[in-house]
Every structure is written in C-alpha cells, then in structure tokens.
C-alpha cells in the first residue's frame, strides 16, 4: 500500500475527489493524513467523516516560512508518505521543503501552465482574452507554479463568463485530472524526463471538457 498525505487550505474539493477515487477505484494506496494550514479549513470535516487523520499546522503561529515548513515537514514525515498531494494549499513553500519532497509532491493549479501562475488565475485568463483556459497537475519544483506537467485539462471561455463561472468549469476538470494523475503516480507509471513527464503505458495526459461549441 502506498501512503498519501494531502495538504489543504480551504474547501478541499480536490482532496475529496482524490479520496473518493482512491476508495471507488480501489487504488493500492491509503490517504494517511490530511493537513491544513488553517484550523477553519472546511475540507477537514470531510476527512474526519471519512476516518482520515487530520492535522492543523497553523502558519500564523510561526515567525518565518522556514519554521512553518519545518513543522509541516515533521507532521508529513510522521506518515512516511510515498506522495504528498497539494490540493488548494495556498502557501508559498521554501526551497528546502520542496527539495525534501522532490519527485513525490504534486500540485493542481487552475490554469494551463505556464500561463497564469499565481493567484486570481481565472480573472487573469479573462483579462488576457484567451478563449481556452484550464488546469494543470504538475510536480512541484522551487519555482512557484512551475514544474514537470503530468496532466492538463482544457475548457472553453464562453461569452458572458465571469471569474466565478470560469472557475466552476475549470474545477470540474480538476476533479477529473487530479485523481487520475495521483493514480498514475501510485501505479508507478510516471517518470520525469527534464521538463516532461512520461506516462507508461501511455494514455492521454490531456482532457478537453465535453462542452459543445460549433461541433467538430
Ligand atoms: C483549486 O481551484 C485549485 O486549483 C486552486 O485552489 C482551488 C482549491 O479548491 N489552487 C491554487 O490556486 C494553487 N496555486 P479546493 O480546496 O476545493 O480543492
């Protein structure tokens, strides 16, 4: 059984998607713990209700990023995870922390990287006028919202979209590609080759949202 630790900051819907897929599809894996950096993270309730250990490491109790990351790593390492899953974990991580989990930490970011790193990605997409937007699952490297891409999902930007409408459409895609990418990792099928992630045996590392446009 592979061990997974999931880090959240809020709602935790991606965490929920991973936990549900793990149970439904019978992965050879177990979510050992869900760790939040905020005591009020709503996702903690789902984890508790599903018998998963929950831990809070409140970043406001620490004087520096480094001391927070050290405490966080201590809690993560108690589970000796094979994989750390960042699921809406809204903290910038120190290089030392990222390097500790190099090659075994995934993140989901709500844009088609390398476009729109950082925050307010849906508004960034609307402001840039792109017609296609989406989400990316990637291995975490020290550069924020950067790292070898495991999977991407694309959605159209529709007339009349605001950031909330676009976010909801992207989130639905996140809930498909993130569990899929985690499963690939658990199955030992991912290898990092420079900036690329190879999947063996291969299957589509992309997803186009099933929303009818003109029809092709
Ligand atoms: C998701 O849209 C995720 O992609 C994003 O926060 C949301 C968390 O939702 N993450 C980032 O912006 C990280 N840079 P969730 O708590 O319901 O999973």
Q: According to the 3-state scheme, what is the secondary structure of 98-142?
A: HHHCCCCEEEEECCCCCCCCCCCHHHHHHHHCCCEEEEEEEECCC
User: What's residue 210's pLDDT?
Assistant: 78
Please check whether residue 51 lies inside any domain of the structure: yes
Going by CA atoms, what residue is nearest to atom 1 of ligand 1? 88
13 CB near ligand 1 (under 6 Å): yes
Which H helix or E strand runs over 182?
A: helix 163-186
Distance 47 CA to ligand 1 centre (A): 17
Give per-residue pLDDT as tens, 133-174: 999 999 999 999 999 999 999 999 999 999 999 999 999 999
The residue behind tokens 């094979």 is 82
* Mean of the per-residue pLDDT values of the chain: 96
Our answer on whether the CB atom of 11 is closer than 6 Å to any ligand 1 atom is yes
Percent of the chain with pLDDT over 90: 97
Q: 211: pLDDT confidence band, cut at 50, 70 and 90?
A: confident
Is residue 31 one of the residues assigned to a domain?
A: yes
Instruction: Determine which one of 109, 122, 133, 138 is catalytic.
Output: 109
Task: Kindly state whether residue 216 falls inside one of the protein's structural domains.
Answer: no
Dist CA 23 CA 96 (whole Å): 33
pLDDT (mean) for 26-39 = 98
164 occurs within a structural domain: yes
Q: How far is the CA of 27 from the centre of ligand 1 (A)?
A: 23
Angstrom distance (rounded) from CA 137 to CA 125: 18
Would you place residue 212 in the very low, low, confident or very high pLDDT band (cuts 50, 70, 90)? low
To the question of pTM greater than 0.95 for the whole model, the response is: yes
* Residue 109 among the catalytic residues: yes
CA distance 33 to 51: 10
DSSP at 212: -
Looking at the 3D structure of the chain, how many domains does it have? 1
- CATH code for the domain in which residue 35 is found: 3.40.50.170
Residue 174 CB–ligand 1 contact under 6 Å: yes
Q: For 50-76, how does the pLDDT look when each residue is reduced to its tens digit (9 = 90+)?
A: 999 999 999 999 999 999 999 999 999
**In this structure, is residue 98 part of a structural domain?**
yes
Q: Is residue 61 domain-resident?
A: yes
16: pLDDT strictly greater than 50: yes
pLDDT exceeds cutoff 70 at 6: yes
| Atom 16 of ligand 1: nearest residue by CA position | 12
Q: Is 179 in the pocket of ligand 1 (CB under 6 A)?
A: no
> Which domain covers residue 90, as residue numbers?
2-208
DSSP string, 36-93: ESSTT-THHHHHHHTT-EEEE--GGG-SSHHHHHHHHHHHHHTT--SEEEESS---PP
Q: Is residue 214 part of a domain?
A: no
pLDDT in tens, 171-210: 999 999 999 999 999 999 999 999 999 999 999 999 999 7
């Amino acid at each position: 059984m592979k061990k997974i630790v999931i880090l959240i900051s809020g709602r935790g819907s991606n965490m929920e998607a991973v936990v549900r897929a793990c149970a439904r599809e019978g992965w050879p894996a177990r979510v050992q713990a869900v760790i939040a950096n905020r005591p009020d993270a709503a996702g903690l309730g789902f984890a508790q209700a599903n018998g998963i250990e929950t831990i809070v490491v409140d970043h406001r109790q620490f004087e520096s990023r480094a001391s927070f990351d050290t405490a966080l790593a201590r809690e993560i390492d108690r589970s000796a995870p094979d994989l750390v899953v960042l699921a809406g974990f809204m903290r910038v991580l120190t290089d030392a922390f990222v390097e500790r989990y190099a090659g075994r930490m995934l993140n989901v970011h709500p844009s088609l990287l390398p476009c729109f790193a950082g925050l307010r990605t849906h508004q960034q997409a609307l402001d840039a006028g792109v017609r296609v937007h989406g989400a990316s699952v990637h291995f975490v490297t020290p550069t924020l919202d950067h790292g070898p891409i495991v999977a991407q999902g694309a959605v159209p930007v529709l007339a009349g979209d605001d950031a909330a409408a676009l976010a909801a459409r992207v989130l639905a895609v996140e809930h498909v590609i993130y569990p899929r990418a985690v499963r690939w990792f658990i199955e030992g099928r991912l290898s990092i080759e420079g900036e690329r992630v190879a999947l063996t045996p291969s299957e589509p590392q992309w997803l186009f949202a099933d929303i009818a446009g003109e029809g092709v």
